[in-house]
Amino acid sequence: MTVTDEHQLWIRFKEQGDQTARDELIVTYMRVVKYVAGRMAIHVPSSVELDDLIGGACWASWMRSRNSIISRKSSSPPMSPSGCEAR
């Protein structure tokens, strides 16, 4: 994927709420997520599995993209994953 392609995906997602573009961006950034999770795994207890870190990062990415879409569609602040309003 070129930088221009990635930029177009961000535009489609942020301005139009295109779910396909969102999914493509998530897949594109999975390599980075796995790398960061691998680096984090070095510093957490051995009871925390790498797959759990990757899953948590994927969930956080999904929630962030969902909150971004919700905040564009309504005037109320987006909800954080804990259920509290973002400030």
Residue 46 resides in a domain: yes
Residue 62: predicted pLDDT? 73
The overall average pLDDT reported for the chain is: 76
77 falls within a domain:
no
Range of the domain at 47: 3-70
SS3 call for 85: strand
Burial-class residue 68 by CB neighbours within 10 Å (0-12, 13-18, 19+): middle
Q: How far apart are CA 68 and CA 61, in angstroms?
A: 11
Would the pTM count as exceeding 0.85? no
Q: 12-53 pLDDT, tens per residue?
A: 988 888 889 988 888 888 888 888 888 888 898 989 999 998
Q: Is residue 62 part of a domain?
A: yes
Query: What pLDDT does residue 85 have?
Result: 38
Return the structure tokens found at 62. Answer: 């999904």
Q: What is the pLDDT of residue 76?
A: 44
Residue 76 within a domain: no
Count how many domains the chain has. 1
Q: Determine how many CB atoms are found less than 10 A away from the CB of residue 25.
A: 19
